[in-house]
Amino acid sequence: MSWQIDSSHSHINFTARHMMISKVRGSFESFSGTVNFDEENPVNTTVDIVVDLTSINTKDAQRDGHLKSPDFFDVENYPTMQFVSTRVEQDDTHNGRLIGNLTIKGVTHEVALDVEYAGVAKSPWGTESAGFSATGSLNRKDWGLNWNQALETGGVLVGDKINIEIELELVKVTEAQPA
């Protein structure tokens, strides 16, 4: 069954270490894709998400500009990143892993996200929605996001490990009935 992403109730967020002592939080404000969630057999679910990298928001325009530059995402040449699932591993009725290929700057690596299924609810407007939370981490250098600066106190300005947090609300697409 096809589901549409409810962008007003969905979020793609990340955190990265700054100067080894704090975390910078950010999000991607624009993304789209298709999710074919199989309620009867979740391991048959497929996901294909495209994230607009120009929509990065860390609440600091200068930092956002640097992240869009060739030092990091190089949005002029690579304006999007894409995640395409390859399989789902189900632990129980509400937990599992979504494994897929993440492509950034033309480089593709497999990533795994721990997923929690929150269930399905009917809205006051008659639509049916499903909710998911996903978390994972990756090493940014695997995708050639190598820029950094050494600190005089030791360590580096930007941590390599990026933590990902996704909240996804989907709305079931109803098929038109023939007349």
Residue 141 lies in a domain: yes
Q: What pTM was estimated for this model as a whole?
A: 0.90
pLDDT at 20: 82
Tally of domains in the chain: 1
* 10-33 pLDDT per residue, tens: 999 999 988 887 899 999 999 999
Tell me: pLDDT of 108 over 70: yes
**What is the domain-level CATH number for residue 63?**
2.40.128.110
Report the half-sphere exposure of 141 (CA within 13 A, side-chain side): 7
- Burial of 117 by CB count in 10 Å (0-12 exposed, 13-18 middle, 19+ buried)? buried
Residues 3 and 10: beta-carbon distance below 8 Å: no
**In contact, 16 and 139? CB cutoff 8 Å:** no
CA–CA dist 115, 103 (Å, integer)? 20
| 31 in any annotated domain | yes
Residue 103 lies in a domain: yes
- Residue written as token pair 């721990």: 114
Range of the domain at 121: 2-172
Structural domain includes residue 94: yes
Among all chains, which residue has been given the structure tokens 């979504």? 98
